[in-house]
Amino acid sequence: MSDCCNTQRESDGKGRYDLVVVGAGSAGFSAAITAAEQGAQVALIGYGTIGGSCVNVGCVPSKALIRAAEAVHHANAASTRFEGVQGEARVVDWRAQVAQKDALVEGLRHAKYADLLPAYNNVAYHEGEARLVEGGVEAGGQRFSADRIIIATGTRPALPAISGIAEVSALDSTAALALTQLPRSMIVLGGGYIGAELAQMFARVGVAVTLVFRSRLLPEAEPEIGAALAGYLAEEGITVLGDLAYEAVRRTEEGVSLTVRRNGRSETVTAEQIVVATGRSANTESLGLAEAGVAQTPTGAIVVDDRMRTSKLGVYAAGDVTGKDQFVYMAAYGAKLAAKNALNGDSLRYDNRVMPAVVFTDPQVGSVGLTEAQARAAGHDVRTSVLSLDNVPRALAARDTRGLIKLVADRGTRKLLGSHIVAPEGADSIQTAAMAIRGGLTIDDLAETIFPYLTTVEGLKLAAQTFDRDVKRLSCCAG
């Protein structure tokens, strides 16, 4: 980071602050800005590229390239969906697309991070690898004294424990998004949202992709959702291999080979490159947490309670470094709570009961609230409704009926407990379900709400009606 952002403002001129925030990503900035708006003197300590994972190597670059790949795919698919329409698209210069993505990242990094700092006179930004010490933090050869500290150092891609993986120059998600030349073939390791998104994106721009994972695709999603998405990926030509054990990775003359055990037999998959998307590790090694008395999970994440407090008095943590709800908006939310609690007496509780989550595949996956299994485990007498998208007029008109909507409700109270969608425009529909759950609405409330016709979100109303009616017997907009 250039010196343009290295400010030296202090509360008393002696290096003492009301709050020290370690980490200059989305969580760190959220905490620092929240505290600054309350009049606190804040030291914000960054290490590496300002802005953190989301804007630099995660959300922003991946979604930009995913949208480009969608444009290619849908142009080529137009002739199969719409009679009398001929479309065609192909990638002619992937390097140019990556450069455009990089320009977007750089612009947002400045607009949403670096350029914000001068607006907050009570935030002093410093660069340096931080370590907790008695009474504060040391970083970059300086000491920052404070009674309250927030750790928001984020995570990085982690290599799985597979024999040979460290010797084959495996790509992580960051390196995959930086490729300027597309390989002919690729193995994507991991069935979570990152693996699913990357596999489809690269396949759509001409890479022969094999997607490999241990259990099932999107293991935290409803089984119907993951199974449906796996089928749609396979229809696009992606080889989808799940329910297996990894055995070894080896370098070959053509690239890499992955040996797995599946259905009791060993199988080998080969490709030019392999991308690892199997998880992330907390950035905590250099912080001196053990010496400071800050408890960690076996995987290295910082343990926090529902007030964002660690086991060390006065030390809080927020964002991905806690291992909880690794979405940028939840990182910012948790950091805001941490800052308010640190300065105002720990009165606010972290609440993720109505946390929407989105997977930016096509069709998109959106979910909020409890899954059927979670609802049963919580003691609810559960009812579910599953509506395929061929019952949604918007999908019929768009000639794209891939997807389904699953609702989870309590049988006695009829309250909506969870909503799970896989649909081409599912991401923009899930927030309606989130508001319904937050407001304690019943499936009857949802079924009787007025929805605009020929929208994907109208599927929520139809899915609610499906609990007690056959929507195939209704006319358009009926009910």
Q: How confident is the model at residue 257 (pLDDT cuts 50, 70, 90)?
A: very high
Structure tokens at 224: 């119907």
Instruction: State the architecture of 357-468 in CATH terms.
Output: 2-Layer Sandwich (3.30)
pLDDT of residue 7: 45
Mean pLDDT of the chain: 95
SS3 116: helix
Measured in degrees and rounded to the nearest 5, phi and psi for residue 237 equal 100, 0
Q: Each residue of 391-440: pLDDT tens digit?
A: 999 999 999 999 999 999 999 999 999 999 999 989 999 999 999 999 99
Q: Is 192 part of any known ligand binding site?
A: yes
What is the fold, at CATH topology level, of the domain defined by 165-278?
FAD/NAD(P)-binding domain (3.50.50)
Question: Would you list the domain boundaries of the chain?
Answer: 3-51+113-157+281-344, 165-278, 357-468
The residue to which tokens 């081409």 are assigned:
424
| Percent residues over pLDDT 70 in the chain | 96
pLDDT of residue 478: 55
pLDDT of residue 425: 87
The whole-angstrom separation of Cα 467 and Cα 463 is 7
Question: For the whole model, what pTM was predicted?
Answer: 0.94
Q: Is 324 part of any known ligand binding site?
A: no
The residue type found at 242 is G
Angle between helices 59-81 and 94-112 (to 10 degrees): 130
pLDDT over 60 at 370, yes or no: yes
The residue to which tokens 């049963």 are assigned:
376
- Report how far Cα 117 is from the mean position of its chain's Cα atoms: 26
Q: Each residue of 202-229: pLDDT tens digit?
A: 999 999 999 999 999 999 999 999 999 9
Written as one string, the DSSP assignment of 220-273 is TS-HHHHHHHHHHHHHTT-EEE-S-EEEEEEE-SSSEEEEEEETTEEEEEEESE
Structure tokens at 16: 């003492």
Q: What is the dihedral of CA 356, 361, 363, 367, to 10 degrees?
A: -20
The whole-angstrom separation of Cα 321 and Cα 444 is 40
The whole-angstrom separation of Cα 266 and Cα 16 is 60
pLDDT of residue 314: 98
Diameter of the chain measured on Cα atoms: 75
| Percent residues over pLDDT 90 in the chain | 94
pLDDT over 50 at 350, yes or no: yes
Structure tokens at 420: 């799970």
The residue type found at 71 is A
pLDDT of residue 479: 57
The residue to which tokens 């300065």 are assigned:
343
pLDDT over 50 at 294, yes or no: yes
Q: Is 190 part of any known ligand binding site?
A: yes
pLDDT over 60 at 5, yes or no: no
pLDDT of residue 68: 97
Q: What is the mean pLDDT of residues 259-275?
A: 96
Burial 3-24 (b: 16+ CB within 10 A, else e): eebebeebbeeebbbbbbbbbb
Q: Is 320 part of any known ligand binding site?
A: yes
* Cis, peptide link before residue 393, omega less than 30° from 0: no
Give the DSSP H or E segment for 145.
strand 142-145
Q: Each residue of 71-98: pLDDT tens digit?
A: 999 999 999 999 999 999 999 999 999 9
In sequence order, the β-bridge partners of residue 211 are 188, 240
What is the fold, at CATH topology level, of the domain defined by 3-51+113-157+281-344?
FAD/NAD(P)-binding domain (3.50.50)
Cα→Cα distances 288→32, 103, 133, 396, 416, Å? 22, 36, 8, 57, 45
Same fold, 3-51+113-157+281-344 and 165-278: yes
Q: Tell me which residue of 466, 469, 461 sits closest to 445, measured CA to CA.
A: 461
pLDDT of residue 1: 38
Q: Is 279 part of any known ligand binding site?
A: yes
Q: Is 314 part of any known ligand binding site?
A: no
Which distant-in-sequence residues (6+ apart) come within 8 Å of 265 by Cβ? none
Measured in degrees and rounded to the nearest 5, phi and psi for residue 205 equal -105, 20
More confident residue, 425 or 373: 373
Structure tokens at 206: 């001409």
pLDDT over 70 at 6, yes or no: no
Q: Tell me which residue of 199, 187, 198 sits closest to 244, measured CA to CA.
A: 187
